[in-house]
């Protein structure tokens, strides 16, 4: 069964955008390039709803205490605004302040087959090697579906790792429609062409992540890091063993630095390659 898109009640309206981030830790360059930058760029052509998803952060309860979670939720909201979201245009709020998110999640739980949740790659990655796994971690994508479906969302701007969750949201909505009739707008994930998966500076085969950034100083650039810390992290980023920059067979680390430089400068990749081709990696790192 399909649902008209946009919903009849919103036909002709500007596309509605919904997205969110967990207040588990300070935001990093991956959060900015994968998601925040897109939120800001599109805000004046769209209706914007941006959430600080504190209830999602509870899925790893030992990682955070309640007072810290409240403080970080405010800090993340402040970072949304500092990155350029205009409070006149965007609605910014904390997920737990709106009880309908958990209510809708329950209703959606009751139509979501367990097998769909077991297939989520993020669930598999987050539970690997863990002795005890909370039910919330498995159910995490259903709460995310509730977040998105509650607001008649057309577009969900996210990094690549969230695409599977947005697709699951559509599947849950379609199943709900099949059982009860059409209610929801079917959302689509919007992923940037460059920067959708920023890799760790110290380990460019793994995604830049908040939890690793807390443990290893050279892993990420955090949005609140002072310039000298950022410079050090970029200059010591893993590249490869070649002495000169060559792009035909660039290593993951070199590709990662090029992507970061390209997205932040807005220049075409071919220009950047021409500028540092044949020079040492110091040239690439200092440009990035
Ligand atoms: P999270 O840190 O899991 O709360 O993610 C918040 C947003 O940032 C989501 O849209 C993610 O897809 C995006 N994101 C997280 N890490 C990265 C990364 N390394 N590269 C690109 N986008 C990312
Ligand atoms: N799961 C997302 C992440 O870790 C955060 C999130 C929760 C979200 N609800 C959302 C993202 C709704 C987009 C839309 O990045």
* Residue 28 and residue 222 in contact, taking contact as beta carbons nearer than 8 Å: yes
Residue 162 in contact with ligand 1 by CB distance below 6 A: yes
156's tokens? 């969900």
Q: Do 241 and 131 reside in the same domain of the chain?
A: no
- pLDDT attached to residue 282: 64
Same domain membership, residue 44 and residue 108: yes
What is d(CA 139, CA 248) in angstroms, rounded to the nearest whole number? 43
Domain-embedded: residue 9: no
Q: What is the DSSP letter of 86?
A: -
- Domain limits for position 170: 16-190
E-assigned strand segments in 12-101: 16-21, 47-52, 90-94
Residue 244 lies in a domain: yes
What's the CATH number where 255 sits?
1.10.240.10
Cβ of 123 below 6 Å from ligand 2 = no
Per-residue pLDDT of the chain (288 residues; tens, 9 = 90+): 344 444 545 777 899 999 999 999 889 999 999 999 999 999 999 999 999 999 999 998 776 789 999 999 999 999 999 999 999 999 999 999 999 999 999 999 999 999 999 999 999 999 998 888 999 999 999 999 999 999 999 999 999 999 999 999 999 999 999 999 999 999 999 999 999 999 999 999 999 999 899 889 899 999 999 999 999 999 999 987 666 666 667 889 988 998 999 999 999 888 888 887 767 666 666 666
Let me know whether 103 and 180 are in one domain: yes
The pTM (predicted TM-score) of the whole model is 0.93
Q: Decide if 162 contacts 126 (C-beta within 8 A).
A: no
Answer whether residue 70 is part of any domain.
yes
User: Is any atom of ligand 1 closer than 6 Å to the C-beta of 158?
Assistant: yes
> Distance, CA 90 to ligand 1 centroid (Å)?
20
| Per-residue 3-state assignment (H helix, E strand, C coil) for 137-204 | HHHHHHHHHHHHHHCCCCEEECCHHHHHHHHHHHHHHHHHHHHHCCCCCCCEEECCCCCCCCECCCCC
Instruction: Identify whether 207 is a catalytic site residue.
Output: yes
Dist. CA 272–CA 288, nearest whole Å: 10
As for how many domains the chain has, the answer is 2
In a domain, 11, yes or no: no
Instruction: Report how far residue 243's alpha carbon sits from residue 240's, in angstroms, rounded to the nearest whole number.
Output: 8
Give yes or no for a contact between 77 and 92, defined as CB atoms under 8 angstroms apart.
yes
Q: Which ligand has an atom closest to residue 148 CA?
A: 2
pLDDT, position 61: 76
Last residue of a domain, one of 141, 159, 190: 190
Å from CA of 51 to ligand 2 middle: 9
Residue 149 inside a domain? The answer is: yes
The CATH number covering residue 116 comes to 3.40.50.620
Q: Looking at the structure, do residues 58 and 143 belong to the same domain, yes or no?
A: yes
Residues 220 and 181 in one domain: no
Q: Are 51 and 151 in contact (CB under 8 A)?
A: no
Say which residues have a Cβ less than 8 Å from residue 41's Cβ, sequence separation at least 6: none
Angle (deg, nearest 10), helices 252-265 and 269-276: 120
Out of 17, 35, 166, 197, mutate this one to test ligand 1's pocket (max ligand atoms within 8 Å of CB): namely 35
Same domain, 107 and 220: no
Confirm whether 200 is domain-assigned.
no
Determine whether the shortest distance from the Cβ of 101 to ligand 2 is under 6 A. Answer: no
Q: Which of 37, 124, 188, 210 is catalytic?
A: 210
Residue pair 109/115 in contact (Cβ under 8 Å)? The answer is no
Are residue 120 and residue 228 in the same domain, yes or no?
no
Q: Which residues pair with 91 in a beta bridge?
A: 49
Domain co-membership, 172 together with 244 = no
**Residues 25 and 111 reside in one and the same domain:** yes
Q: Cβ-count burial of 207 within 10 angstroms (0-12 exposed, 13-18 middle, 19+ buried)?
A: middle
Q: Are residues 56 and 184 in the same domain?
A: yes
Q: Does residue 154 lie in a domain region?
A: yes
Give the bridge partners for 190, in sequence order.
157
**132 shares its domain with 272:** no
pLDDT at 2: 41
Query: What is residue 264's three-state secondary structure?
Result: helix
Q: Which pLDDT score, from 0 to 100, does residue 274 have?
A: 83
CA 42 to chain centre: 16
3-state class (DSSP) for residue 32: helix
Same domain, 78 and 110: yes
Residue 201, in any domain of the structure? no
């Amino acid at each position: 069964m399909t649902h008209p898109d946009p919903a009849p009640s919103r036909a002709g309206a500007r596309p509605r955008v919904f997205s969110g981030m967990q207040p588990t830790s300070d935001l990093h360059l991956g959060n900015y390039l994968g998601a925040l930058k897109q939120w800001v760029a599109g805000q004046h052509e769209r209706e914007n709803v941006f959430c600080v998803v504190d209830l999602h952060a509870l899925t790893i309860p030992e990682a955070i205490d309640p007072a810290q979670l409240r403080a970080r939720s405010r800090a993340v909201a402040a970072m949304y605004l500092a990155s350029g979201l205009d409070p006149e245009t965007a609605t910014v709020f904390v997920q737990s302040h709106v009880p309908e998110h958990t209510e809708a999640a329950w209703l959606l739980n009751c139509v979501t087959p367990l097998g769909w949740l077991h297939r989520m790659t993020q669930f598999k990655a987050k539970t690997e090697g863990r002795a005890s796994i909370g039910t919330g971690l498995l159910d995490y994508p259903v709460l995310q579906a509730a977040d998105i479906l509650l607001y008649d969302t057309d577009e969900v701007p996210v990094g690549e790792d969230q695409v599977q969750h947005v697709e699951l949201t559509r599947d849950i909505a379609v199943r709900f429609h099949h059982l009860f009739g059409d209610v929801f707008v079917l959302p689509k994930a919007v992923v940037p062409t460059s920067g959708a998966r920023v890799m760790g500076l110290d380990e460019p085969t793994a995604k830049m992540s908040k939890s690793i950034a807390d443990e290893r100083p050279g892993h990420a650039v955090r949005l609140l890091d002072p310039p000298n810390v950022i410079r050090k992290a970029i200059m010591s980023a893993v590249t490869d063993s070649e002495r000169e920059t060559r792009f035909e067979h660039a290593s993951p680390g070199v590709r990662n630095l090029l992507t970061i430089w390209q997205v932040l400068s807005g220049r075409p990749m071919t220009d950047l390659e021409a500028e540092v081709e044949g020079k040492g990696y110091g040239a690439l790192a200092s440009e990035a």
